Every structure is written in C-alpha cells, then in structure tokens.
Amino acid sequence: MSNVIQLLPDHVANQIAAGEVVQRPASVIKELLENSIDAKASRIQVVIKDAGKSLIQVIDDGVGMNLTDARMSFERHATSKIKIADDLFSLKTKGFRGEALASIAAIAHVELKTRTEDDEVGTCLKVEGSQVVSQDACVTPKGTGISVKNLFYNIPARRNFLKSDNVETRHIIDEFQRVALAHPDISFSLTHNGNELFQLPVASFRQRITNILGGKTNEKLVPVEEDTEIVKVSGFVGKPEFAKKSRGEQFFFVNNRFIKSPYLNHAVVAAYEGLLKEKSYPTYFLYLEVDPKSIDINIHPTKTEIKFDDEHALYAILKSSIKHSLGQFNVSPMLDFERDGELDTPYDYKDKEVKVPEVEVDRNFNPFQDESSPKPQYSGGGGGYKRDRQPEWESLYSGMQSETETETDLDVGQIEFESEEVTGNLFGAKQEQTEKSTFQVQKKYIVSTLKSGILVIDQHRAHTRVLYEELLKNITVSSAVSQQLLFPLRLQFNHQEVEMLKEIKESLEQTGFIFSEIKKDEVEITGIPTLIAESEVEILLEQLLADFEKDVPDNGFSQTDLLAKSLAKSMAVRSGTLLNSAEQQHIVNRLFACKEPAVSPFNKTVFTTLSVDELDKKFA
C-alpha cells in the first residue's frame, strides 16, 4: 500500500495560510500598516485602486531593510519580533507570526522597495505566487514601499467571492481608521483612484477622532480617565443624546491594538443604563493599557480577539469609570450635596453690621371705607394720601353718564342670543349615527368585524406593508411628492456614511428627498417626503444607514427593495401609538388595497381572523 500522507508544497501551504490571514483587500491593508508601524514610521501613505483589487500600495519612512532582511521577510514564520515562546506573552509589537508578507506574496504580485538609513542604494524585489522573479538595486528613499497588484490572481474562486468596489472600499476605510485612531502620533493618508479620502496630521487622540469622523464629533465626546494597578483607561465616550442606530463608532484599543470584545462592550452599555433610547448604541473610543503578560493575543489569525487574565475586574473598572465621567460632566443625573452658590453671603458684607429694614405703613388706610366718604390726604410726612388732580383716564369718560340717562331703556326680551350648545365635532350629528366599525386593543392591534367573525390586525406591520408598496411604486414608477423646507436641514455624518448616501441618493430623491449639497462630512436637505416630519429626518436616515451598513446591493431592484423596506419600517406607526377611529379605518382600507396584505415586507403575519365557530368553541 502506497503512502497516503504527504507534505504539502510550500506554495500550497502559503495559499492555505493566506486564506486565514488575507480574506479581502482590507486584510492586506491591515497587515502592511502594522508592519510600517513596527518599523517606527512617522508618516504612512496608502494608495489603492479599484478597491484594492488592482493595486494596494503602502509607503512608510521607517527604518527599512537591507538585502538579506528583504529576502527573509517573504519566508514563512520569519520575524524579528519574537525569538522564544515566552515572547508571545510579552508582545509590544503589532505583528509577530511572520505570515503576512509570505501569505500576501502567495496570492498576488508583490513589489518591495526598501532602504535603510546607512545604505546608499535600496533593494527592489518582485515576488509572484511565492516565487522571487527579480532582485535589483534601486534608488528609493529611506523606509519601505510595498505594492500589491492583482490580488487573488491565482485563486479565481476567492476573487469571485469579493463584494462590490463600494463595499470593499468601506472595509478598507474601516481598517485604516482603526489603525489611525490607535496611533495619533503618526501621520496617515489614504488615496483611492486618485481621490484623497483622508489626510491625517499628527495630533492628539481627540483631534484624530475629530479629523476622521468630522468636526461636529468634538462636542459629542465626554473624556474618560481612570488609572488603576490592573488597567489604565483613557479615551472618550459619546453623550447619550447622540447615540446611533448602528454600532459603527465603537472602538476598543488594548495596548494600541484594535480589538473586539462583546464582554467589555456590555460593560459600556451597562454604564449607560437608563440613558439610551431603545435600539440605540453609544459611541466610544476607549484605550486600555494593561501588562502585556496579562493578555493573550495569539488566539485568532486576525489578532482582533484578546484573552484577559481578569476580565471581571476590567468589567467593573470600565463600567464605573464611564459612569463617573458621565456624572462628572452632568450627562447623567447624580446626587449633589454641595451648597447653592447663589445663597452665599458676598465677602464684602462680612464685616458690615446687620441693619433692621425700615418699613413705612399707612396706618389710616381702611380697605372697607366707602368711596363717597372723604379720602385721607397725603401730608408729605408718613402715612396719609391726597389726590391733587383728577387722573387723566377719568377724563375719557366725562359726559358719558348724562348721555346714557337720556337714552330709552332697552327691551331685553327683544334680544336674540346664539345657541351656546357645543357639539364637540364638526360632523357631530352624522358621526353619532355612524357605527364604530374598528377598535384598538392595547394600542397595538386593530380589531374589525367580519360577516364570519372578527379580524385582528397588527397596526405597525399593516402600516409598514402599506408604506412599502407606496414607496416601491414611487421609486420605480413615478417621483413622490416632496415638501420644501423653509430653512435647509444640515445633518452631520462621517465620511463613510456620506459615501453610502451618495450611492442611494438617486433612489432617495425618488421618495421625496431633495439634497442641495453633499459635503465630506455634512449633508444639506431642502425637501423631504410629505409623510415625514422634519424632526424625524435625522433618525430615519440613521436607521437607513444602519440597514445599509453591511452591504449596499449593486442590483438596482435589490437596492430599491432594501431602501423601501428600511424607510417603511422607520415611517410606520409604532405599537403603543393611540389611533382614532378615522386613522384605524384608514389603515384597514389601505391595507386591503395592497397586493399582498397578509404579510409584511419582512414576511411577518399582518392579520389573523377568528370565526364565529371558533368563538363558540371558546364558550362551549
């Protein structure tokens, strides 16, 4: 029997490793940025084309590499970060496995240009599919520049699984922002297809957050500071009133490394208890500094998950520090036993004598004195009053008494009075005769009668179905009616959200929105659909962006369908809303005019019927 188990060739092993390390172009960006940071770069430039599918270029001014190191960097498990196993538990660098460049070179065309400060000329290496194609000396500035072209060129199946350019670009921006937020002491720039998306100078943590997410972010942040033996917590959390409908602006950094931790996220949410609206998520940028020996980073290929020695202590410290900050900056209610400064005695009055206030009283004043009796005269000293002259207003009525006495007395019986009976509504007589055909139960269900029994309708799902079909018709068939705003509405969004709005702008305009201007971090709206109140526009758009966060479909119909579903869900009347008879009947009539009244756009049951026979069985 021949041997079955064999060693894999190096290029196959590299492709398998690449499947774990490189999932999409954003993974390449992350690995290359981390290498540049470990190389002590002060400025890093990122250039991409076609969402990274054609070109990913990362240029830094770090320490660079000599010829030997440049060749070794493309070998598997070749690293300068660790030498023994114990080094895995005291890591202070980003990369340490030595798989990044080897994995990238296995599935792309890679060109490396690097030079150290001591070398006069640099090294240029070209690697295709793990094979070194050429090695030459070249003129290049100090540092390292890596160009990755034709990603997944030799694995077409993996390339086919990539999303649209817009989606892949958003993933790249996500990774870029995570690295840039963790290192405000490094200058970053990002260019896509010749358009500069970000130019981030060296700044403080707060300035870096503002530069990435927009100028208006600064007023939404509350600083958090706490230093203990276990962990040092710093950073910022968002004010509750600015909570978002999505989890996009939530960042944890442990020792300047971005991580994901549902457990620590729960601690942050617990600190906001009672301050957030339903289905709203707080914004936070929290930096944790812990002993490298107390964490294990090497548990996931992407290094975004970390295992802590004492998670319970971290949870308690994080929760209490955020609560303290929210209370300290008067964001959350707190007990305050300090005295009111307005009741304090001024310092100027400290040595002054206390004087009893003097009160003058007219002791001759009699409130029951008849007006015809002589009034007391004011003598000029204390007490007594005298009216020297007739007030001017009394002269306006002079001569009136004589005129009234000469007129004949009016006959009150001849005067006709209007009826004072109040009906309470404009069509009171007719409405009293009309029977009420619908009823509302628990402000959630509409109950209507049928010949065969009763009909119970979920008001939110019914209204969602009605609005969904109406919006779908407006977008695909004809433009909706728009109401013009007296003053333009300016809304703040981050760069990524603005890009998403640009993608669906045309469809939104078909629903009734009118965008007069879309800037880098601001959107100006001059018209909105007639069904939406101006105060609800920002909430509706935030919910829409949250629904589109994962993916904006390329297909026109899929995009329209998702847009109509999201808008209908946000605009529909909520459960718990009190409806009058006319509103109830309006929803019922419009529901049964729909093409598919039985199910909501999300395939949920809209109504159910209860026949007389079923009712009879209940009383059997």
Average pLDDT over residues 409-427: 52
State whether residue 562 is helix, strand or coil.
helix
User: Residue 49: pLDDT above 60?
Assistant: yes
pLDDT of residue 132: 87
pLDDT of residue 428: 47
Average pLDDT over residues 204-217: 86
pLDDT of residue 155: 83
User: Residue 511: pLDDT above 80?
Assistant: yes
pLDDT of residue 394: 61
- With bands split at pLDDT 50, 70 and 90, how would you rate the model's confidence at 413? low
Q: DSSP for 362-405, please give it.
A: -TT--TT--TTSPPPPP-SSSS-----S--HHHHTTTTHHHHHH
CATH of the domain spanning 10-200: 3.30.565.10
pLDDT of residue 333: 56
Q: Does domain 440-608 sit in CATH 3.30.1370.100?
A: yes
State whether residue 252 is helix, strand or coil.
strand
Per-domain boundaries in the chain: 10-200, 205-328, 440-608
User: Residue 350: pLDDT above 50?
Assistant: yes
CATH topology of domain 205-328: Ribosomal Protein S5; domain 2 (3.30.230)
Least confident of 106-115, 145-154, 371-380, 456-465: 371-380
560 vs 7: CA distance, rounded Å: 51
Q: Give the chain's mean pLDDT.
A: 80
H-run or E-run covering 583? helix 581-591
pLDDT of residue 19: 61
The candidate with the shortest Cα–Cα distance to 30, out of 162, 165, 171, is 171
Least confident of 166-180, 332-346, 431-445: 332-346
Average pLDDT over residues 317-342: 72
- Domains 10-200 and 205-328 fall in the same CATH topology: no
Mind listing the pLDDT tens digit for each residue in 15-46?
A: 666 666 788 899 899 889 988 998 889 999 99
Q: Do the strands 187-192 and 43-49 form a parallel or antiparallel pair, or are they unpaired?
A: parallel
232 vs 228: CA distance, rounded Å: 6
Q: How far is CA 283 from CA 70, 133, 237, 249, 322, in A?
A: 41, 48, 6, 5, 12
Contacts 24+ apart (CB under 8 A), 84-87: none
> Helix axis angle, 537-547 relative to 495-503, nearest 10°?
90
pLDDT of residue 404: 47
Report whether 151 contacts 28 (CB < 8 A). yes
Average pLDDT over residues 160-183: 88
- With bands split at pLDDT 50, 70 and 90, how would you rate the model's confidence at 393? low
pLDDT of residue 418: 52
H-run or E-run covering 482? strand 482-492
The candidate with the shortest Cα–Cα distance to 375, out of 363, 364, 389, is 364
Q: Do the strands 284-289 and 250-254 form a parallel or antiparallel pair, or are they unpaired?
A: parallel
498 vs 505: CA distance, rounded Å: 10
Confidence (pTM) = 0.69
- Most confident stretch, 193-197, 404-408, 469-473: 193-197
Residue 420 or residue 508, greater confidence: 508
443 vs 458: CA distance, rounded Å: 10
User: Residue 382: pLDDT above 50?
Assistant: no
